[in-house]
Structure 1
Amino acid sequence: MLGRWCPSLQTGPQIAKNDSITLTCNIGSTNVERYSWYRDNERINGEERSFIIGKAEEKDSGNYQCQAGTSGRSDPVRLSVTNERVILQAPPSVYEGDPLTLRCYTPYYTAQNVTFLRDNVIISSSLTDTLTLVGSMAMNGTYKCKKNLQHHTNHYSPYTSAETVITIQELFPRPEIRADKDGVQEGDVLTLSCHTALNPARGATQLQFAFYRNGHNVQGFSSSSNYTIQSARPQDSGNYTCDTAAPSVSVTKGSPGLSIHIHGGTLRDRRYTIENTIRLALAVCILLSGSLLSYCHIKRQVN
């Protein structure tokens, strides 16, 4: 399906000459008899779900796409074959909460002291080639790595990889909490809802929602994006927020606050108004009855 799937790489899109690389066509189903592969929009040999390059050459660089049966082509994925001494292998993008694995690869030299940088700021220094992070929106940026390469016995020189731009795809935006009515009166039914939108490409991800009043939990995490107060009371007034979570990838985002004020005393005031109206009507009836009796009595005396 065009625009929804793309081939996946077993490493990052940067590889060294003579390396082996496997591309896999991820289309959501494995029950496809025939696959088609394209490089830079030209058909290439390969009818299996996985496309293997046994010994990469520079001519293998390009934008790769796959097609399952008669479906549309996938989104392209870029593969670059390079002779660089230091290669940063990293996915061009990952989703929030997914692992982001960086590899500082030196195919031709013995190396030591690995440093990873984002936007020219050091994020890790170690002796290992790989660094695994958890994707978050704050990790968008330009990455590179440095290594000391051995040229002669006990002689090392620093080298830096080419820069790679990594994009973190948002799983869902910050939620917004909404009320189903304004001017809530005591005794009203009030429903609050937690609104967000899951990225369509991750439609299988389950979201859960929780609600808070003045920072205290009033409804724990569940699949329901609604919180209902069946009979609102003045003590239900406060600042309401909601959290949206994707437990499978440990991503949680909170909404801005929504101030809710329950106008109290309305039912009591209505009862008092009705009672006072009845009293007033009775008083008027008594007064009119008394006046009528007095008038009749006076009229008899005159006659």
Structure 2
Amino acid sequence: MLLWLLLLILAPGRDQSGVIPKAFLLLNPPWSTNFKGDKVTLTCKDSYSPSQGHISWYYNEKLLDKNSEAIQIDQTGDYSCKTQRSSFSDPVHVDFLSDWLILQAPYPIFEGDDVILRCPRREESTSETVFYKNERKISSNYESSFTLTSVSRDHGKYHCSASKKSFWGTKKENSKPLMIQVQELFSRPVLTFNPSPAIEGRPVTLRCDTWLPPQRAYTQLQFCFFRENQALGSGWSSSPELRLPTMLSEASGSYWCQAETVTPAVRKRSLRSQIHVQRVPVSDVNLEIQPPEGQLIEGGNLLLICSVAKGTGNITFSWHREGTVRSLGTRTQRSLSAELQILTVKEHDAGRYYCAADNLHGPILSKLVTVTLRIPVSRPVLTLRAPRPQAVVGDMVELHCEAQRGSPPILYQFYHEDVALGNSTVPSGRASFTFSLTEEHSGNYSCEADNSLGAQRSDRMTLSVIVPVSQPVLTFNPARAQALVGDVVELRCEAQRGSPPILYWFYHENVTLGNSSAPSGGGASFNLTLMAEHSGNFSCAADNGLGVQCSEVVTLSITGSSSSKVTHITMGVTTGLLTIVGIAVTAVLVSRFRTQTNSGGFFVIRTPGSSPNAFQETSLSRTSNTDLQGPVYSEPPDPTELQPEYCNVGLGDSDLVYSQIQSIQHTTENSANAPRKYWEDKEPRVIYSELKKAHPDDSTGQASNRDRDLEDAAENYENVPCTSSALNH
């Protein structure tokens, strides 16, 4: 018997506590409850994989004649196993039922697991399934399954119900109650410490021991150690050990630990253990600052930590700045360290600091620690230096960026529309950036200052770069090299580049025709009704205040007239008759004028730009002892629309109508801006053509005779010369 015990102790496979680990069973399928006729495969495992040697199987505590690693079962009962390197496994109860409805749960189940409960039927059914725990309904659905989340070892009884249809109707069926076997995921931790007892001033290692089952060996645990109710170290850690570098008498007290799974959360705590430490006077006082030296930023918080290597009882800590009498603060507590925080430090808080510790044996001072501050940059100011108030393409512009405060060195970055232009690092003062302006440099500028403590961006500054106009291009619309008298031509002048507004001038043979403005840039147009005198060279100029640019000369040739056929014939006949019968017609005209004057007046109507057929007559009242006025004329046409002028002069009830044809052209240097002039400023050239008046009843003639009438129109005209003196008479 003693030999057997010795072999049991020395046998391999024991854990650190000397206890032989248990074997365990796995089920496939994993359900502990099955229908009668189903088969389940049991597999015996231990903490070693794979299992080796002889395996013993037990059914209701009776040894089975089986020694393989896996066996197949179909009988209800308790099953267990054992390997050569393990102790007996926990028994597993497996049911094989002949019921119509059963409740299934997997095996094994550990604390914190999500468990799927199934409620299968022997026959397919679409009825609702209801799940119960301790006779209370917990869920109902048509999926025949329900999930329990993060189960605990509460040993509740579960069952399910469903409706069964039969020949006699629908009957509610209940499953057999099932007690879910929830196993312990890990054992309750045990706190140990080494060395024991604890010695003042020496390190102590705390250990939190627990055990995971082989089925859950992969479970991750984290640990936390406590003295009284205060967490030690950095809090939760994956290490089951915590090393306390120095134990002081004030650290005596109750210690304990906690272990928990990372997910899902299963937490267990150890029993409390008392640790007693011998007291000693304070020594090795040390001052620590956070953040470390050189990393403190103005506006941040300064943490002063005063600690001692040894000491017992209540320790009074105090903090001081060199050169001041009063302390910055004091703390009295039973610990080896204490902290003082200075909020929102300023530039004047820089200096040398020290602390003192006293436990009634006299204060012990720490070494001096220098505290330096780094000052973040203030918001920089961007200024621009240009040779003139309004920047022009080609100007050299200098950008200046300066932050009034900030620890050096400072990196300045310049931006145009948030695109970096360049940078400069200066130990102090401001930075500059010089560049030559192009058209693309218009827009918003800013700069950024950064000394690695946070970048600051300046306000935006808008720069508008004026671009001189490029050489404009003059085009005609419609585009042609030749045109007819009377055509309306659009002159289009456009400069491809240039800041608005742009003023365009139009010229014919260097004589100004007119101007037009383009407030938003682009081109401008000018409409011109062509006359014979307009043959020649045209050009235009563009100006936006930075210099005038002239276009290339464009030549336009005017070869004929676009007026109606009647007007063309009238002009030709008039010219011929004027040469042949000028003197005779003048005599007749004088005779007619006298006759009309004696008979009661004459009619005058002037309609610019119309053919003789479109003229109307206007009656002038006849008054005795009053001189007859000449023809009434309107203001001269716009200089940009030079055209023939017509005036019909009727001689009373006579069958003759005289058409006065005048051609007017201004010759002033700037006709577009020149004021309008009456015809008396320049003696017009006047030709009278005698036209036989049509009788009122002739106006209703047939359309078929119109072409013949137009062809014979020349026969209805007779050129009569007339002078302005005759008209005035």
* TM-score w.r.t. length of structure 1: 0.63
CA, structure 1 residues 96+150, in 2 after alignment: closer, same or farther (shift >3 Å)? same
Native 8 Å contact 1:135 1:168 kept in 2: no
Q: Is 1:61 aligned to residue 76 of structure 2?
A: yes
Native 8 Å contact 2:126 2:142 kept in 1: no
Counterpart CA distance in 2 for 1:262 and 1:219 is 25
- Report what 2:72 is aligned to: 52
Shift of 1:160: 1.2
Q: Is 1:140 aligned to residue 155 of structure 2?
A: yes
Deviates more, 1:91-100 or 1:192-201: 192-201
Counterpart CA distance in 2 for 1:104 and 1:167 is 17
Amino acid in the other structure paired with 2:127:
Q
CA, structure 1 residues 111+35, in 2 after alignment: closer, same or farther (shift >3 Å)? farther
Deviates more, 1:14-23 or 1:119-128: 119-128
Counterpart CA distance in 2 for 1:177 and 1:75 is 27
Native 8 Å contact 2:59 2:77 kept in 1: yes
Q: CA offsets, 1:48-75, max 9 Å, x none?
A: 422224xx4xxx2222233446976544
CA RMSD of aligned residues (A): 4.8
Counterpart CA distance in 1 for 2:313 and 2:362 is 20
Q: Is 1:219 aligned to residue 235 of structure 2?
A: yes
Counterpart CA distance in 2 for 1:99 and 1:197 is 23
- Report what 1:39 is aligned to: 59
Native 8 Å contact 2:103 2:176 kept in 1: yes
Amino acid in the other structure paired with 1:81:
F
Specify the SS of the correspondent of 1:12.
coil
- Report what 2:110 is aligned to: 95
Native 8 Å contact 1:175 1:194 kept in 2: no
Q: Is 1:23 aligned to residue 42 of structure 2?
A: yes
Q: Give the one of 79, 96, 108 matched to 2:123.
A: 108
Highest relative contact order (Cα 8 Å, sep 6+), 1 or 2? 1
Counterpart CA distance in 1 for 2:257 and 2:44 is 38
Q: Give the one of 166, 179, 187 matched to 2:180.
A: 166
Question: Rg bigger for which structure?
Answer: 2
Shift of 1:263: 2.3
Q: Is 1:268 aligned to residue 358 of structure 2?
A: yes
How do residues 219-258 of structure 1 correspond to structure 2 at under 5 angstroms? 219-226=235-242, 228=244, 230=246, 243-247=258-262, 250-253=265-268
Specify the SS of the correspondent of 1:7.
strand
Shift of 1:223: 0.7
Counterpart CA distance in 1 for 2:240 and 2:88 is 36
Specify the SS of the correspondent of 1:112.
coil
Amino acid in the other structure paired with 1:247:
V
- Report what 2:211 is aligned to: 198
- Report what 1:292 is aligned to: none
Native 8 Å contact 1:3 1:74 kept in 2: no
CA, structure 1 residues 19+173, in 2 after alignment: closer, same or farther (shift >3 Å)? closer
Counterpart CA distance in 1 for 2:155 and 2:69 is 31
Q: Is 1:131 aligned to residue 182 of structure 2?
A: no
- Report what 1:285 is aligned to: none
- Report what 1:293 is aligned to: none
CA, structure 1 residues 89+35, in 2 after alignment: closer, same or farther (shift >3 Å)? same
Q: CA offsets, 1:188-227, max 9 Å, x none?
A: 6786957463356678455321357768984342314426
CA, structure 1 residues 117+32, in 2 after alignment: closer, same or farther (shift >3 Å)? same
- Report what 1:121 is aligned to: 136
Counterpart CA distance in 2 for 1:15 and 1:169 is 21
Alignment: residue pair count: 262
Q: Give the one of 33, 47, 50 matched to 1:14.
A: 33
CA, structure 1 residues 173+257, in 2 after alignment: closer, same or farther (shift >3 Å)? same
Identity of aligned residues (%): 25
Shift of 1:177: 7.8
Native 8 Å contact 1:211 1:218 kept in 2: no
CA, structure 1 residues 67+200, in 2 after alignment: closer, same or farther (shift >3 Å)? closer
Structure having the higher helix fraction is 1
Q: CA offsets, 1:7-58, max 9 Å, x none?
A: 22223222111223222222343253664544331424x55422224xx4xx
Native 8 Å contact 1:65 1:77 kept in 2: yes
Counterpart CA distance in 2 for 1:104 and 1:71 is 36
* TM-score w.r.t. length of structure 2: 0.30
Deviates more, 1:9-18 or 1:265-274: 265-274
Counterpart CA distance in 1 for 2:233 and 2:167 is 63
Q: CA offsets, 1:249-291, max 9 Å, x none?
A: 5433468999xx97222952444389xxxxxxxxxxxxxxxxx
Q: Give the one of 127, 146, 149 matched to 2:164.
A: 149
* Structure 2 residues not aligned, in runs of 5+: 1-12, 14-19, 195-199, 274-311, 317-333, 335-356, 365-729
Shift of 1:87: 0.9
Counterpart CA distance in 1 for 2:91 and 2:255 is 44
Native 8 Å contact 2:56 2:63 kept in 1: no
Counterpart CA distance in 1 for 2:82 and 2:247 is 56
Amino acid in the other structure paired with 1:221:
S
Native 8 Å contact 2:185 2:216 kept in 1: no
Amino acid in the other structure paired with 2:137:
I
Specify the SS of the correspondent of 1:222.
coil
